[in-house]
Chain A
Amino acid sequence: MTYLLHVATMIVIYTMLACSLNLLAGYCGLVSIAHAAFYGFGAYVGALLAIRFGCDLLVEMACVTLVVGMVALLVGWPALRILDDYFVLVTFALQAIAFGVFNNCVSLTGGPLGLPGIPPPSLLGWRVSTHLGFLGLTSLFCMITLAFSFLLVRSPIGRILVCVREDEVFAKVLGKDVVRVKISLFMISACFAAVAGVIYAHYTTFIDPTSFTINESIFVISIVIIGGAGSLSGPIVGAVILVTLPEVLRFAGLPSDIAANSRQIIYGTVIVVMMMFRPQGLLGKYRFER
């Protein structure tokens, strides 16, 4: 039962990450490679606040969204005023820098040894320490992320997001401030990734830089692509498939070193097949131009 609750919690955390990235990449067409960096910033800032100051979870999240929002603004402001292709490169650079900080800022992050002993979170006096409690807490924040996405994409601003993805010049000549929308969305997406990071840090009680590498960003992008970019339910389906797939392989009886490699092969194969036969993903509506 504990094992199933753990898998379910990880599905919900990755749903949050994929949903926040889907807002940016799926609806607005801006692919960010730095999602794991924001996830990591959230995890480290949240963990440090909990370890050193024993903050309430809501205080941690407020601080984390402030810090990550500022980082996203500083990166997004110059990057999103130029071509989207450069935005991908800038987020790639941010991801590399973030990993460098997590790995080398030993006095703060513990470096490669990581940060152990992260206490269970306390939400307005409710101390969450059981697996079921964590699943409930994670689901609560995941629901908030999904509701936020739903409200945003079903509103007039959702039409602007789609227009930026389809034809940015069209949006501009209709009087829409495309740069403001893109920067705001990048900040929102980063903040939700950071919130997922806070929950992850408390859940695992230990974090180290290997959890926030570029592979993690690519994994979240894969969830969005396979589930269906530009669809509200796509990230949920994508997260269920890609988080449970390694767990299924675990029971296939393969030696651990082969199982680890076969996972990568299966991920790669699934993405290539999807790109060839269903580029819009399982539940996606938007067909990316070939």
Chain B
Amino acid sequence: MLRCERLTKSFDGVQALADIQLALPSSGIIAIIGPNGAGKTTLFNVITGILRPNFGKTFLGDKDITSLQPHLIARLGVARTFQDLRFMRQVSVSDNVMLARPNQRGENFFYALTRIGVAKEEAVNRSVCMDLIRFVGLEDKADRLAGELSYGQQKLLTLACCIATGARILLLDEPVAGVYPEMIEHILDFLLKLKVQDKLIVLVEHDLTAVRRVADQVIVMDEGHIIAEGPPVEVLARPEIMEAYVG
């Protein structure tokens, strides 16, 4: 479904991605692990159009998405979260999630001004978003400003926004880092439920316990290269992988 062919990206001589060949399945949970600077986040940035590769291509099905703008890639069903959390801090939690809903009629200037069909659609979207907010456990914070949430709650909010887009492919950058243990369990259960919904979840994660628990496949990166991939039980048992990972 999502395929990268010979992706290469460098910054001032530092090679962040080196000839990456990747073919991901249409559903399941894939974990990308590796030490800091391995190129994991750069890979996400290139796939989502935030960065352009120096060489190589990215395909979604048969469609070449390498040179598409980020919003067009998102509209094709690729959503993501960021390591440095991105959301609207001075806006309520519910409005953050509402923003993420796709193809809203009121996002067109004509309909925004005439209000034709907007109220009805807003009601439907609000109901969907409240379900999501309830699902991530933020229902009592729905009307609070997003910037007032704790770090863990903000992570949940970005996750809710990502899911609210209705995307089939979710790229999650460290979804459980900095989150307290009970919340980690909650998030992992949530990811497993999404997997059942036939979504492809790709997560960059340092928490190997979490990776072992949810991932169907692990991809190990180091210095811009993919050095190993396979089932977690197999890959994480290899001493040379752990050596490269721990350093």
- List residues of A whose CB falls within 8 A of some B CB: 148, 151-152, 155-160, 162-163, 166-167, 169-178, 184, 188, 285-287
The residues of A that contact B106 with a CB separation of less than 8 Å are 155-157
User: Is there contact, CB below 8 Å, between A285 and B71?
Assistant: no
Instruction: Decide if B95 is an interface residue (CB 8 Å cutoff).
Output: yes
The residues of A that contact B115 with a CB separation of less than 8 Å are 151, 155
The residues of B that contact A162 with a CB separation of less than 8 Å are 88, 90-91
Q: List 9 A-B contacts (CB under 8 A).
A: A148-B113, A151-B115, A155-B118, A156-B99, A160-B107, A162-B90, A173-B74, A175-B72, A175-B102
CB-CB nearest in chain A for B87: A170
Instruction: Decide if B100 is an interface residue (CB 8 Å cutoff).
Output: yes
Distance, CA A287 to CA B145, complexed state (A): 13
User: Is there contact, CB below 8 Å, between A176 and B88?
Assistant: no
Of A171, A178, A287, most B-chain CB atoms within 10 Å: A171
Tell me the minimal C-beta distance from A140 to chain B in angstroms. Answer: 18
User: Is there contact, CB below 8 Å, between B112 and A174?
Assistant: no
A166-B88, A170-B86 as given contacts; A160 in contact with B102, CB under 8 Å = no
The residues of A that contact B35 with a CB separation of less than 8 Å are none
Distance, CA A285 to CA B92, complexed state (A): 13
Distance, CA A156 to CA B116, complexed state (A): 13
User: Is there contact, CB below 8 Å, between B98 and A285?
Assistant: no
Tell me the minimal C-beta distance from B61 to chain A in angstroms. Answer: 18
Of A156, A170, A175, A176, most B-chain CB atoms within 10 Å: A175
Distance, CA A157 to CA B98, complexed state (A): 11
Instruction: Decide if B66 is an interface residue (CB 8 Å cutoff).
Output: no
Within 8 A of A (CB), among B94-138: 95, 98-100, 102, 104-109, 111-113, 115, 118, 122
Tell me the minimal C-beta distance from B21 to chain A in angstroms. Answer: 25
Among B74, B90, B91, B109, which residue has its beta carbon within 8 angstroms of that of A174? B74
The residues of A that contact B8 with a CB separation of less than 8 Å are none
User: Is there contact, CB below 8 Å, between A166 and B71?
Assistant: no
The residues of A that contact B108 with a CB separation of less than 8 Å are 157
The residues of B that contact A177 with a CB separation of less than 8 Å are 71
Distance, CA A286 to CA B75, complexed state (A): 29
Instruction: Decide if B213 is an interface residue (CB 8 Å cutoff).
Output: no
Tell me the minimal C-beta distance from A183 to chain B in angstroms. Answer: 11
A174-B165, A177-B71 as given contacts; A167 in contact with B109, CB under 8 Å = no
The residues of B that contact A285 with a CB separation of less than 8 Å are 90
User: Is there contact, CB below 8 Å, between B100 and A174?
Assistant: yes
CB-CB nearest in chain B for A157: B112
The residues of A that contact B165 with a CB separation of less than 8 Å are 174-175
Instruction: Decide if B50 is an interface residue (CB 8 Å cutoff).
Output: yes
Tell me the minimal C-beta distance from A23 to chain B in angstroms. Answer: 12
The residues of B that contact A171 with a CB separation of less than 8 Å are 71, 99
The residues of A that contact B122 with a CB separation of less than 8 Å are 156
Among A151, A167, A175, A178, which residue has its beta carbon within 8 angstroms of that of B112? A151
Distance, CA A152 to CA B108, complexed state (A): 10
The residues of B that contact A167 with a CB separation of less than 8 Å are 86-88
9 tightest A-B CB contacts, nearest first: A156-B106, A175-B74, A155-B112, A170-B86, A172-B70, A156-B104, A155-B106, A157-B112, A175-B75
CB-CB nearest in chain B for A188: B109
User: Is there contact, CB below 8 Å, between A160 and B99?
Assistant: yes
Distance, CA A178 to CA B113, complexed state (A): 19
User: Is there contact, CB below 8 Å, between B87 and A176?
Assistant: no
User: Is there contact, CB below 8 Å, between A152 and B88?
Assistant: no
With A166-B91, A175-B71, A175-B72 already in contact, 7 other A-B pairs whose C-beta atoms are closer than 8 Å: A157-B107, A159-B95, A160-B99, A171-B99, A173-B48, A173-B80, A174-B71
Tell me the minimal C-beta distance from B149 to chain A in angstroms. Answer: 15
CB-CB nearest in chain B for A167: B86
The residues of B that contact A148 with a CB separation of less than 8 Å are 113
Distance, CA A152 to CA B90, complexed state (A): 18
User: Is there contact, CB below 8 Å, between B79 and A173?
Assistant: yes
Distance, CA A174 to CA B165, complexed state (A): 7
User: Is there contact, CB below 8 Å, between A159 and B91?
Assistant: yes
Instruction: Decide if B89 is an interface residue (CB 8 Å cutoff).
Output: yes
A157-B106, A178-B71 as given contacts; A163 in contact with B79, CB under 8 Å = no
Tell me the minimal C-beta distance from B76 to chain A in angstroms. Answer: 9
CB-CB nearest in chain B for A175: B74
The residues of A that contact B111 with a CB separation of less than 8 Å are 155
The residues of A that contact B161 with a CB separation of less than 8 Å are 174
Of B102, B108, B109, B113, most A-chain CB atoms within 10 Å: B109
Tell me the minimal C-beta distance from B161 to chain A in angstroms. Answer: 7
CB-CB nearest in chain B for A159: B99
A152-B113, A285-B90 as given contacts; A159 in contact with B102, CB under 8 Å = no
